[in-house]
Structure 1
Amino acid sequence: MDVVEVLPDRLHMLRFPIGQAYLWRDGAALTLVDAGNSESAPRIEAAIRSLGLRPERLERIVLTHCHGDHTGAAGELAARWGARVLAHRLDAPVVRGEVPVPEPVLLDWELPLYAHALTVPAAPPTRVDQELEDGDALDFGDGAYVVHAPGHTDGSIGVHLPRHGVLFTGDCVAAVGPLMLGVFNVDRARAIESFRRLAALTPSTACFGHGDPLTTDTAAALATAAAEAGTEAGAGAPAG
């Protein structure tokens, strides 16, 4: 696993073979946005320690959606260190294991990619301590708030830290190859609407569920990609 600094003394990306999580720091207090797959807890703990931080200061784990490459280690980390787990109300039953993970409506070019995604270990049922709604304020990042961004899943969210210009998009947006709408959506039209809503926040730093964070000309790049999403040019397979 790679540990990549995004913002000095504030934000690091924890990059796994598939997907990634983000560690936000408010002094010694820590927030994890997404939690990797079910085998990721020891690597996340090691990453925290490698930064000179303490896993017991992990206060919350915010899940951008219910897929196993984002929720897998949340329960283990929460049980071990006392962190609270937060997820949108519509995805919380999936995270808890009460209902199955929703099946995406796949485009033809997504089929082989999806077969690879199915190799991610299934996530164990995980408690959700707080069910989120659009606009909810979160007690980190000097005033973070929830942006409901359905389409990838019904309860997908972005997390916006306006005072720092940071936006976590979850899998609504991807940066694997060109900046684009994320894949494997349950409702592509709603996902496009969510992409455009997130882009309208004009962040200076965008952190994606897949692909490297964007820290230069971010707002313009998001606006262009959001405008192209769903057009003939934006609807096909990514290049490269």
Structure 2
Amino acid sequence: MKKFLSTLTLACLLGACANAPTAAPGATVDAHVAHARQLAGSDLGYLMRLCEPQPAERAKPDEKMDDYLRKLIAKPAPPAMQVFDNLYFVGGDWVSAWLLKTSEGFVLIDSLNNGQEAHEVIEGGMARLGLDPRGIRYIVVTHAHGDHYGGAAYLVRKYHPHVIASESDWNTMEGQLEFTSKLWDAPPARDITVRDDQVMTFGDTKLTFFVTTGHTLGTLSLLFDVRSHGQVHHALLWGGTSFNFGKDFSRLESYSANAERMATMAGKLPVDVLLSNHSGWDGSLVKMKALRADGAAAPNPFVTGPQPVIRSFQVMDECAQAQALRFGY
């Protein structure tokens, strides 16, 4: 088996090894899972689903898959809310959509499954927050799966924002999709392409785009600043978490390497807010519930400090290594 790089040595140098023993070279599946569990501790348990065995074959579109998606989409969306001074949640129960406010308008990060959901959840959520959807200037598609690009074409027709994606995922959206569903609208037309480590400025706001290959061939993760209680925090939105690509060692290896890369950056900046585009992978629904209950004057539960961010990437790395071993690598 080709050895994956480990994040642990670097993270310990940054003071974030969480007293967890290293899963030694040549470790078993159980050892990697146990190490991930110890790293997850009591606060990151939602990430441990990533360590569960995954099928060797990619799911194929059928009525069963559509029924499953239909149930996920039908779950009542949480109330749209302001999470930071310049960041809003306007997503569903299952898949997230984040709205970043800049002096040049809004940057929408992902667009949900289809135009109907974009209308009801994104536009409806913005209306309830007193925000005008006509202010959406850009849509970032974090990766080429329909639950993230499905509402984009509807919003482009209505408000004419630009759409941003990576070259690899534009190619996927224009060619052979990895997954299809009757519940997903067609991908948007090719627009702006960003490369790895590219910085774009939107008025008073800078976004750095990282191509974090793994979940898809061109998954984008985003780094930007958020503000709360007069403080500026570095936020990283990890663009794709699960292993739903079947027995593909190159994807697992890339995933592991990018998890290590983001852990390095999280320690150096430091990154103290970690977000996802699915609420099940960042605990956002629980954090928003706490934010509503405690009020705006309370500490923001999304601000965790860098150590939980680093440990999150360590967990992802360990689970990727465990999955590679299950596949015989």
TM range (shorter): 0.7 to 0.9
User: How big is each residue's C-alpha offset from its partner over 1:40-62, in whole Å with a ceiling of 9 and x where there is no partner?
Assistant: 22121111122111111110001
Measure the CA separation in 2 of the matches of 1:82 and 1:69.
20
User: Does residue 160 in structure 1 map to residue 160 in structure 2?
Assistant: no
5+ residue gaps, structure 1 = 104-117, 173-181
Partner of 1:16: 92
Matched, 1:6 2:83: yes
Counterpart Cα distance in 2 of 1:233 and 1:137: 28
CA–CA separation in structure 2 for the residues paired with 1:132 and 1:76: 22
Flag the 1:229–1:18 CA change in 2: closer, same or farther, 3 A.
closer
Are 2:176 and 1:100 equivalent residues in the alignment? yes
Deviates more, 1:151-160 or 1:227-236: 227-236
Deviation at 1:216, TM superposition (A): 3.4
Structure 1 residues 52 and 226: CA distance shift in structure 2, 3 A: same
Unaligned segments of structure 2, at least 5 residues? 1-76, 226-231, 285-300, 324-329
Superposition TM-score, scaled by structure 2 size: 0.58
Deviates more, 1:128-137 or 1:64-73: 128-137
Q: CA deviation at 1:218?
A: 4.2
Other structure's SS at 2:168 match:
coil
Once the two structures are superposed, residues 73-132 of structure 1 have per-residue CA deviations (whole angstroms, 9 ceiling, x without a partner) of 01110111010001000000233xx312236xxxxxxxxxxxxxx877233131121011
Q: Are 2:206 and 1:130 aligned? A: no
After superposition, where does 1:160-239 map in structure 2 within 5 Å? 160-162=223-225, 164-172=233-241, 182-185=242-245, 187-202=251-266, 203-211=271-279, 212-213=283-284, 215-231=302-318, 235=322
- In structure 2, how many angstroms separate the alpha carbons of the residues matched to 1:99 and 1:198? 29
Secondary structure of 2:97's counterpart equals: strand
Question: When the two structures are superposed, what TM-score results if normalisation uses the length of structure 1?
Answer: 0.78
Give me the whole-angstrom Cα distance separating, in 1, the residues matched to 2:304 and 2:314.
Answer: 16
**CA shift digits 1:148-181 (9 cap, x unpaired):** 1001001101011157411111213xxxxxxxxx
Choose between structure 1 and 2: higher helix proportion: 2
Q: Which runs of 4+ in 1 moved over 4 A?
A: none
Residue equivalent to 2:161: 83
Taking a change above 3 Å as real, the CA distance of residues 51 and 146 of structure 1, as seen in their structure-2 partners, is same
Q: Is the 8 A contact 2:212 2:239 kept in 1?
A: no
Give the deviation of 1:232 after TM superposition. Answer: 6.6
**Distance in 1 between the 2:236 and 2:314 partners?**
18
| Structure with larger Rg | 2
- Alignment equivalent of 2:105, drawn from 13, 29, 48: 29
Q: Distance in 2 between matches of 1:93 and 1:229?
A: 26
Q: Give the number of aligned pairs.
A: 210
Question: Residue 234 of structure 1: CA displacement?
Answer: 7.6
Kept in 1, the 8 Å contact 2:106–2:137? The answer is: yes
Could you say which residue in structure 1 is the equivalent of 2:32? none
Higher-strand-fraction structure? 1
Deviation of 1:196 after TM superposition, in Å, equals 2.1
